[in-house]
Structures are given as C-alpha cells and as structure tokens.
Structure 1
Amino acid sequence: MSRSAEVVSNIQRWFKANKLCLNQGKTSYIYFNSSPQQSASLPSIQTPVLTILPTPEVKFLGLVVDSKLEWKTHIKTLLSKLATAAYAVSSVRRNVNSSAALQSYFSYFHSVMSYGIVYWGFSPLVKDVFLLQKRAVRAVYGRCRQSSCKPLFQENKILTIYAQVILDTCTLIHKIAPTLTRQGDVHNYNTRNKNNFLISSNKIMDKSFLREGLTIYNKLSDETKSLGAVLFRENLKERLLEGVPYSIEEFAG
C-alpha cells in the first residue's frame, strides 16, 4: 500500500471510530505545485474500499482553492457575486439617502469582498475586484464613472480592498507571531532585522500572506508591532483609512 493510501486508510478508520462516513463522491485530493503538471496525469489513490481522484481545484468553505494557488476561478466567481451586489447597492440608493445606501454597501458588497481575503487578496486579479468596489462606492454617493473615489473612501472611512488585505493579513500575522520564526532565531548576529520574521522561499507562496503579508508586517514600526491585538488593529486601520492605498505597493513600497 502506498503512503498516500495508508494515510487515507487511517482517515477512514478515524471516521468509522467516530461514527462518521467519508463520502467518496465529494472526496478528492489536490497536488499543490507551481509547475504546469495537470491533475489528469496524477494517479488516483486506491484503498480496499475507496478510490480518490485528483482535481485541479475544489470548493472549500466558500473558497475555490486551485493547485497553483492562483485563485483565478475563485476571483471569477467572486466578481459575478460582487457585480450583483454593486447593482443592488445602486438600486437601493435610488430610494434612500447615501447613509442608508452605505449600510447596504457594507452588507451586500464589502462583507462578500472581504471573506477569506488573506488567502486570495494578493492575487494580481484583485485589480478587477477593486474596479467593482469603486463602482459600488460611487453608487452609494451617486457619483459618475469619471469621478475620483479616493475622497469618498477617505471621508467616509471605507477601506479599499488593498487596505482590507493589509489589515486582515497583518492582524492574522500579529496573532500568530509567537509561532513564527524570526531572523534572530536562526543566527546569533545582532542585526537591525533580527526581530523580522523569516519569509517563505517556496515559489508557490509568492502571492500569499506567507510572503507578501510577512513582507508588509516586517516593515511596520516596532512600536506598532508591540501593541496588543486590539490596539494593533485599530492603529493600523486608522493609518489605512487615512492613506487610502490603491495598491499593496503604495502602502508597503
């Protein structure tokens, strides 16, 4: 029996011991790799009672996870939902004032946009989400397509999608900081970066919080990073609301 089949057999035994059943029709596996290898060329995992097939992507807790962590399908699906949400905000605005329309924006649009953003938020495709976000914000205040959104974000304390990515990612890193490795943990040199976290060199993590997020977090001041969880988030959020970043680089560059 292969190592993979042995792992699956152990999972089956755990399910059985806990009076649960593994649904073969809803069970598959993903091989995470940055190479162009296709799932079709991967073997199935065979056990005496179960066959598990490879898949290039799978929906998990509302996120469409793909084998190269490019998030193309997830963002494509998200764009469809957000286009509908932006239209809903525009429709609401025709019958209420901007204050009430802003509430509908946060309910219909921003909450959907923000879900799981620490995982997919560093994808280059986020620029398409940002275009829809600006459309929705303009709809709240009845502005035309040519008008600048930056004052609207700033004056009404709305986080751009890039600000939301930075805020949620840095908050997560701040929370798990005790479990992360610092540069000072792997050498004895008293460098100015000794308290910075080590960043993953795995190519598949290029556009993830394990690289992009840690890079941003390392650039925050020691004073900010020393704050407790609540004050850390409040302090960073205030900076982001004031700066209104239109890209990750604009904040962390």
Structure 2
Amino acid sequence: MVVQYADDKSIIIKKNTLPEAIETCSLLYRAAKNWLSVNGSCLNELKTSCVFFRAPQSRLSHPATIVLDGLDVLVEEKPHFLGLHLDGRLNYDAHVSGLCKQLSSYTFCLRKLKTMANRSVLLTAYHSLVMSSATYAISFWGSAANLELVFRMQKRALKVLLGLKPGQS
C-alpha cells in the first residue's frame, strides 16, 4: 500500500518474516525509484528511512540498516511522521514525552504573556498553542498508557490562564 500526503510518500508492507519484508521493501523501493525517475521526479535518498512495526510484546530484533538498491537505509525505532513521534511498538511514549515538553514550553509562554495581556488574549493563546497541540492526531495516540501526563500539563497551563496557584483546583 502506498500512502501519500503532500510530497511525502510511504510504502506499507505486511509480511510474516523479516527477510520477506526486506526483500519486498527492496523490490518496491526500486520500482518507486524507477517510477519517479520516468515521471520527472526523484527520490530524496537522504530522507529515506524504514521502520518495522511489531507487537509490544514481540522480542524480534531488526538490523540497524537495510540495503535497498545499493543504498544503506536507516531503520528508525522512533520516526517522526506528520507531526507524530511514532514507535516501532506503537506505544506512543515518545509522542507523549515530546508533547509534554512542548506543552511545558507553551505554559511558560502563557506565564510570560499573562503579565502583559488580558484574559481574552491568553485564552486565544491557550487554544492556539496548548489545545491545538494536545488534540492533534489524538485518534492515534489518545489511548496511550501515559495519557495522564498530557492531562496534567494541560491542567498546569489552565491554572496559569486562570491565575490559580499550583495546589489549587
């Protein structure tokens, strides 16, 4: 299956064994590269990477790189794709961690903005920064085991917005 978003293309392969997956990936890579060349485009080999998705309890390991049409391609464990920090085991810990850091920065911005702006501006900033980030692609990562961390960061930002102290609710 080929998935395209803007100028990004992803090839999704489902195979029972790692060697089968690598062989199929190699064939599809070569075909995609040829198709792009024939149609006046090219493949950015520096941005080409691979990820092997597997069940969280799986003990299967994979190589650090695979060779596709003579090119060593990095096998990423935690790729960044369309604003999501993915994980080969689909547990979204990396995404939640990155999101919490982002929300912490936004809370700091709200705290600084509070000294010079009215509540309406703060509310707009909260919705544009905190809520848009906290809800982006939530249908993918919203069932993450550590979702509570995001909720706490969102609550912290709201306390700044409402002028509440850390112990208050």
The alignment status of 1:126 with 2:161, answered yes or no, reads no
- Paired residue for 2:83? 62
1:25-80 CA-partner distances (Å, limit 9, x unpaired) = 21111111011333337x61432x43333221211112111111111222211111
Q: 1:74 to 1:53 in 2, by over 3 A?
A: same
Residues 78-120 of structure 1: CA deviation (Å, up to 9, x unaligned):
1111101011112222223323211111122111222222111
Q: Structure 1: any 5+ residue segments left out of the alignment?
A: 149-253
Q: Is the 8 A contact 1:4 1:45 kept in 2?
A: no
CA RMSD of aligned residues (A): 2.0
In the TM superposition, 1:1-253 aligns within 5 A as 2-34=23-55, 35-40=58-63, 44-47=66-69, 49-148=70-169
Answer yes or no: is the 8 Å Cα contact 2:30–2:68 preserved in 1.
no
**Structure 1 residue 134 displacement after superposition:** 0.4
Point out the structure with the larger helix share. 1
- Structure 2 unmatched runs, 5+: 1-21
Residues 32 and 67 in structure 1, CA contact (< 8 A), matched pair in contact too: yes
The answer to whether the 8 Å contact 1:71/1:123 transfers is yes
Does the 8 Å contact 1:39/1:55 carry over to 2? no
Q: Which TM-score applies when normalising by structure 2?
A: 0.77
> SS where residue 40 of structure 1 aligns?
coil
Structure 2 CA distance, aligned partners of 1:15 and 1:51? 19
Corresponding residue SS for 1:44: strand
Mapped partners of 2:109, 2:59: distance in 1: 39
Runs of 4+ in 1 over 4 A off after TM superposition: none
Query: Which residue is 1:240 aligned to?
Result: none
Deviation at 1:130, TM superposition (A): 0.7
What is the CA distance between 1:17 and its match in structure 2? 2.1
Q: Is the 8 A contact 2:85 2:94 kept in 1?
A: yes
CA distance in 1, matches of 2:162, 2:131: 16
State the alpha-carbon separation in 2 of the partners of residues 2 and 61 from structure 1. 26
Partner residue, 1:163: none
1:140 to partner: Cα distance? 0.7
Q: 1:113 to 1:54 in 2, by over 3 A?
A: same
Paired residue type of 2:31: N
The verdict on how the C-alpha distance between 1:114 and 1:76 changes in structure 2, with shifts beyond 3 A counting, is same
**Residue 204 of structure 1 corresponds to which residue in structure 2?**
none
Q: Is the 8 A contact 1:39 1:56 kept in 2?
A: no
Distance of 1:39 and 1:71 partners within structure 2:
19
Which structure has greater strand proportion?
2
Distance in 1 (CA, whole Å) between partners of 2:85 and 2:61 is: 17
**What per-residue deviation string (whole Å, max 9, x for no partner) do you get for residues 123-174 of structure 1?**
01211111110011111110122222xxxxxxxxxxxxxxxxxxxxxxxxxx
Once residues 26 and 158 of structure 2 are traced to their aligned partners in structure 1, the CA distance between those partners, rounded to angstroms, is 51
Name the CA distance, whole Å, in 2 between partners of 1:141 and 1:13.
Answer: 57
TM-score (norm 1): 0.53
